[in-house]
């Protein structure tokens, strides 16, 4: 080795050492420890990420009720957060499982495989849910009750990447009242996911995560049963006149077995707490309060945000959705639920501030979907209505039988997906592409059906260049979707199983809040087009970790203080 090269190398080494020493002398002792522990590349200020989903929460809930929010809740986020006011899901269908899978994966159903809350499993010959798992056991609920896991979720999440990055030292926890909403955001290898079991009133999990519930969960369940809410009255938070922007309290469009008028007494019609009480409890603001209590217990019990390894807690509030389905977006009940969610969030934020410091925390808030007005409400105003799904399927069966001979052609109809019975096609020697065409033509004749996409069209990329077609393709996973996918016209709901619902590619279902708040966030209101799939890559960038495997989102650099942030 030439002498001058050696000398040169030595001087570089010396320089580097001096720079290192100099830098480390300037570091605060705590930061020094972090650097020494090999986490120098992680954004040191972020101790905890809290990912919040409000189930069925349209963007316009933030603006319609803005004057009625408290200082510490939504108003805090809207004032000091990065608020994206033009975020839309860019896939269809807009269902709970899909939105929750997107939230921390930055992907779409076409990549993460979560095409709905449920779908038809051809191999098993029956419907399956996005998280049901017969290979695992329920922990904390009834012995032998069905359990759940993320085994159908394809690819990684922010939580998974955090744990890769820290050799498992970052903690990742997901909680919700719904199993899918706890499980899917937490990802494939979190420390745990917990959901509410309405048959016992306990938070439960499954043997996918561990062989026994952690002590803090057992303690929470034994000390805090929701029984303290038994017989509680749910009244409007504000005076009656504050609700005049919504429909009358007892609007005829509302359909709920719990009545349609304030106040509501929460007892499930039972004399003592039992499954019917727990089921009614789930549809009240008390359930959100209870989930926030459980979030605090998780932070305490797991010691979240207490060390230099960034932890992730995902919290999904389900009560807003369960209520919204029965009362619709323009009800006083949904307005009050929104106002009370605001107060509950304020309490949770204050707690996090005291415990960990909001300046060391990033809060990312969104919704898994919005909701359409109740079809009868829309109809009264001259929009939409309901697609009669039975008549629709009968007309498709009739058209196919007319062409190929009498048979039963449709195996399943789930999420507006038609799954043909391939054995009928074989019996009748019917060509699949002709079956698709004839069925599609019949479907398009049904009132309220706007478009029909065939599996072969999507797989071969033969789609019309429309936004709707693109959204359907992004929501399509070949091994799980059906043969035909129907899209209703705006304000039309397929079927009559829910009073109000969602699932369409239209604004009222797709337009949701995307808000970041806390460490390193640049406050502002951003009207740039974006989607909830952008949340995961943005968080990944801020945390200096690799984005989730199937992330297709954009880094929302508008939200980041000092866009030239370096690791
Ligand atoms: Zn939902």
Domains of the chain and any CATH numbers: 49-377+505-559 (3.40.720.10), 389-446+449-488 (3.30.1360.150)
For residue 44, what pLDDT band results from cuts at 50, 70 and 90? low
Q: Where would I find the H helices in 450-497? A: 455-459, 467-474
Q: How far is the CA of 361 from the centre of ligand 1 (A)?
A: 26
Average pLDDT over residues 179-188: 98
Torsion over CA of 357, 358, 363 and 365, rounded to 10 degrees? 130
Q: What is the maximum alpha-carbon separation in the chain? A: 92
Q: What is the pLDDT of residues 267-306, one digit of tens each?
A: 999 999 999 999 999 999 999 999 999 999 999 999 999 9
Q: What distance in Å separates the CA atoms of residue 523 and residue 421, rounded to the nearest whole number? A: 54
Q: What is the DSSP string of 232-275?
A: EEE--SS-GGGGTTS--TT-TT---TT-SSS-EEESTT-SS--H
Q: How far is the CA of 397 from the centre of ligand 1 (A)?
A: 31
CB 419, CB 411: distance < 8 Å:
yes
Q: What is the pLDDT of residues 373-431, one digit of tens each?
A: 999 999 999 999 999 999 999 999 999 999 999 999 999 999 999 999 999 999 999 99
What pLDDT is recorded for position 16? 41
CB 52, CB 361: distance < 8 Å:
no
3-state secondary structure of 214: coil
Can you tell me the ipTM of this complex?
0.97
Which residues neighbour 217 within 8 Å (Cβ) at sequence distance 6 or greater?
140, 192, 194, 203, 205, 297, 301
Q: Give the lowest-confidence range in 27-31, 213-217, 219-223.
A: 27-31
Annotated active-site residue 366? The verdict is: no
Nearest to 491 by CA among 392, 367, 387, 369: 387
Q: How far is the CA of 532 from the centre of ligand 1 (A)?
A: 14
- Residue holding tokens 């997107």? 102
Q: What distance in Å separates the CA atoms of residue 344 and residue 347, rounded to the nearest whole number? A: 5
Higher pLDDT, 427 or 3: 427
First to last CA, the chain: 34
In the predicted model, what is the mean pLDDT of the chain? 92
Helices (H) and strands (E) in the chain, counts: 21, 20
Higher pLDDT, 141 or 22: 141
The 3-state secondary structure of 78-113, one letter per residue: HHHCEEEEEEECCCCCCCHHHHHHHHHHCCCHHHHC
Q: How far is the CA of 183 from the centre of ligand 1 (A)?
A: 13
Average pLDDT over residues 353-381: 98
Q: How far is the CA of 442 from the centre of ligand 1 (A)?
A: 31
Q: How far is the CA of 52 from the centre of ligand 1 (A)?
A: 13
Q: What is the pLDDT of residues 492-529, one digit of tens each?
A: 999 988 999 999 999 999 999 999 999 999 999 999 99
Instruction: Spot the catalytic one: 94, 96, 157, 341.
Output: 96
Q: What distance in Å separates the CA atoms of residue 397 and residue 415, rounded to the nearest whole number? A: 18
Query: Residue 355, Cα to own-chain centre: how many angstroms?
Result: 26
């Amino acid at each position: 080795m030439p002498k001058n090269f050696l000398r040169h190398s030595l001087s570089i080494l010396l320089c580097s050492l001096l720079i290192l020493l100099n830098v480390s002398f300037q570091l605060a002792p705590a930061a020094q420890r972090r650097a020494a522990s090999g986490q120098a590349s992680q954004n040191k200020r972020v101790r905890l990420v809290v990912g919040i989903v409000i189930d069925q929460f349209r963007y316009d809930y933030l603006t319609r009720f803005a004057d009625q929010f408290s200082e510490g809740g939504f108003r805090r986020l809207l004032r000091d957060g990065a608020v994206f006011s033009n975020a839309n899901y860019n896939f269809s269908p807009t269902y709970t499982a899909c939105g929750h899978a997107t939230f921390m994966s930055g992907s779409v159903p076409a990549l993460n495989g979560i095409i709905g809350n449920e779908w038809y499993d051809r191999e098993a010959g029956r419907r399956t849910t996005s998280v049901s798992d017969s290979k695992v056991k329920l922990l904390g609920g009834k012995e032998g009750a069905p359990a759940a896991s993320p085994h159908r979720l394809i690819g990684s999440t922010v939580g998974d990447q955090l744990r890769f990055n820290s050799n498992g030292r970052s903690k990742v926890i997901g909680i919700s009242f719904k199993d899918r909403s706890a499980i899917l955001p937490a990802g494939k290898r979190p420390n745990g996911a917990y959901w509410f079991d309405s048959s016992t009133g306990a938070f439960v999990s499954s043997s996918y995560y561990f062989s026994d519930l952690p002590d803090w969960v057992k303690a929470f369940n034994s000390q805090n049963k929701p029984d303290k809410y038994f017989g509680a009255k749910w009244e409007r938070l504000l005076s009656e006149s504050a609700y005049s922007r919504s429909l009358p309290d007892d609007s005829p469009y509302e359909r709920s077995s719990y009545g349609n008028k304030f106040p509501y007494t929460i007892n499930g019609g039972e004399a003592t707490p039992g499954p019917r009480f727990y089921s009614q409890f789930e549809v009240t603001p008390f359930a959100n309060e209870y989930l926030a209590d459980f979030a605090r217990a998780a932070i305490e019990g797991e010691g979240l945000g207490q060390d230099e390894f960034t932890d992730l807690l995902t919290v999904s509030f389900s009560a807003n959705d369960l209520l919204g389905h029965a009362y619709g977006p323009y009800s006083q009940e949904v307005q009050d639920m929104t106002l009370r969610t605001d107060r509950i969030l304020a309490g949770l934020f204050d707690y996090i501030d005291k415990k960990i410091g909001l300046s060391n925390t990033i809060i990312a808030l969104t919704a898994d979907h919005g909701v359409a007005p109740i079809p009868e409400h829309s109809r009264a105003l001259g929009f939409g209505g309901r697609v009669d799904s039975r008549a629709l399927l009968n007309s498709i069966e009739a058209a196919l039988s007319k062409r190929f001979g009498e048979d039963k052609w449709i195996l399943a109809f789930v999420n507006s997906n038609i799954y043909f019975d391939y054995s009928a096609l074989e019996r009748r020697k019917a060509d699949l592409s002709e079956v698709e065409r004839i069925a599609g033509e019949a479907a398009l004749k049904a009132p309220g059906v706007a478009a029909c996409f065939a599996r072969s069209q999507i797989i071969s990329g033969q789609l019309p260049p429309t936004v709707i077609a693109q959204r359907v393709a992004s929501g399509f996973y070949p091994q799980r979707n059906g043969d035909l996918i129907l899209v209703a016209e705006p304000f039309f709901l397929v079927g009559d199983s829910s009073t109000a619902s969602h699932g369409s590619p239209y604004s009222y279902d797709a337009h949701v809040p995307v808000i970041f708040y806390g460490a390193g966030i640049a406050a502002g209101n951003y009207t740039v087009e974006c989607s909830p799939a952008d949340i995961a890559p943005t968080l990944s960038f801020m945390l200096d970790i690799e984005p989730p495997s199937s992330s297709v989102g954009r880094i929302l650099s508008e939200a980041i203080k000092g866009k030239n942030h370096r690791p």
